[in-house]
């Protein structure tokens, strides 16, 4: 089957990497391997893949009152956490034979290239998976915003938000057994119904730049391929 999308930006949550691990490790190698295998399947179709990973499994800088650490300082710590996840993802992808490049928005040349937009575009054209670490490089942002920003910069066809839920519902499916999943929904409807797809900064960037978002369950093996093939998986916001 021909893929529906030629270039994607995959936003992975840091928190989802924890999986079933209960010993305090930040990630479950089984989850990272499953993600890597799913990414390989879509690169085999010739789809160009860029990735932004969160850092919530290691550190989240948001809560100054609890941590006693100034917000901006904590945010930089959070950005460094995303680089650790990005390196883990990179290692797993390379292990299964997928070529990758890691670019970081905070310079650390021993482990990652600096973020250079035109260079990232060339990597994608050459079929390398490009992982963007350190979010936007700025405090007061999230990795969802980094994902939207990089997707627009890379002229990706779509941003795929891989989560542990299979889309956007009209109510919380864990509380409301009759909650209904949307197959597609407009940006405006999300605002009208106060549906939390991404934080407002990230969401607005997508809306203003007509970048469609697909929210889907990344923890189900094979789902990413289905999304890329245009099958009815998750929720499409456009
Ligand atoms: N962060 C930031 N600027 C960015 C991206 C991330 O300051 O552009 C910080 C912020 O503190 C955030 C943390 O990095 O809480 C980890 O990212 P996020 O919470 O988005 O990860 P996820 O929820 O996807 O695991």
CATH, domain range 7-237: 3.40.1160.10
- Reading the block at residue 145, the tokens are 């915003």
Ligand 1 contact via 79 beta carbon (within 6 Å): yes
Cα–Cα distance for residue pair 73/69, rounded to 1 Å: 7
From first to last of the 238 residues of the chain, give the pLDDT tens digit: 789 999 999 999 999 899 888 888 899 999 999 999 999 999 999 999 999 999 999 998 878 888 899 999 999 999 999 999 999 999 999 999 999 999 999 999 999 999 999 999 999 999 999 999 999 999 999 999 999 999 999 999 999 999 988 999 998 888 898 999 999 999 999 999 999 999 999 999 999 999 999 999 999 999 999 999 999 999 999 9
Ligand 1 contact via 133 beta carbon (within 6 Å): no
Count of alpha carbons within 13 angstroms of residue 49, beta-carbon side:
32
What pLDDT does 133 receive? 98
Ligand 1 contact via 64 beta carbon (within 6 Å): no
CA distances in angstroms from 168 to 50, 143, 144, 179, 195, listed in the order given: 23, 19, 16, 10, 8
What pLDDT does 66 receive? 87
Q: How far is the CA of 45 from the centre of ligand 1 (A)?
A: 31
What pLDDT does 158 receive? 98
Q: How far is the CA of 202 from the centre of ligand 1 (A)?
A: 12
Annotated ligand binding at 14? The verdict is: yes
Ligand 1 contact via 237 beta carbon (within 6 Å): no
Could you give the ipTM of this predicted complex? 0.93
Cα–Cα distance for residue pair 188/133, rounded to 1 Å: 30
- Which of ligand 1's atoms lies nearest the C-alpha of 57? 25
What pLDDT does 155 receive? 98
Ligand 1 contact via 75 beta carbon (within 6 Å): yes
Ligand 1 contact via 18 beta carbon (within 6 Å): no
Question: How do beta strands 158-163 and 7-12 pair?
Answer: parallel
Please report how the helices 117-125 and 143-153 are oriented relative to each other, as an axis angle in degrees rounded to 10.
Answer: 70
Closest CA to ligand 1's atom 23: 56
Annotated ligand binding at 139? The verdict is: yes
Q: How far is the CA of 79 from the centre of ligand 1 (A)?
A: 6
What pLDDT does 63 receive? 81
Best CA proximity match to 165, nearest among 15, 60, 8, 21? 15
Annotated ligand binding at 12? The verdict is: yes
What pLDDT does 124 receive? 98
pTM comes to 0.96
Confirm if 112 and 83 have CB atoms less than 8 A apart.
yes
Ligand 1 contact via 141 beta carbon (within 6 Å): yes
């Amino acid at each position: 089957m021909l893929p529906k999308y030629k270039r994607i930006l995959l936003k992975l949550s840091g928190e989802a990497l924890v999986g079933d691990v209960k010993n305090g490790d930040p990630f479950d190698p089984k989850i990272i391997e499953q993600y890597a295998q799913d990414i390989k399947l879509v690169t085999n179709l010739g789809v160009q893949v860029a990735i932004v990973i969160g850092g919530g499994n290691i550190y989240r800088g948001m809560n100054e009152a609890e941590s006693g650490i100034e917000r901006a300082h904590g945010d930089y710590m959070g950005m460094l956490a995303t680089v650790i996840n990005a390196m883990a993802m990179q290692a797993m992808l390379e292990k299964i034979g997928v070529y990758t490049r890691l670019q970081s928005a905070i310079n650390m040349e021993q482990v990652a290239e600096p973020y250079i937009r035109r260079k990232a575009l060339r990597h994608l054209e050459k079929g390398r998976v490009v992982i963007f670490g350190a979010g936007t490089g700025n405090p007061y942002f999230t990795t969802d915003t980094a994902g939207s920003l990089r997707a627009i910069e890379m002229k990706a066809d779509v941003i795929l938000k891989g989560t542990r839920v299979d889309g956007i519902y009209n109510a919380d499916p864990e509380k409301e057994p009759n909650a209904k999943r949307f197959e597609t929904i407009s940006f405006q409807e999300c605002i009208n119904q106060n549906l939390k797809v991404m934080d407002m900064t990230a969401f607005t960037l997508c809306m203003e730049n007509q970048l469609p978002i697909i929210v889907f369950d990344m923890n189900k093996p094979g789902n990413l391929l289905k999304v890329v093939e245009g099958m009815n998986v998750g929720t499409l916001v456009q």
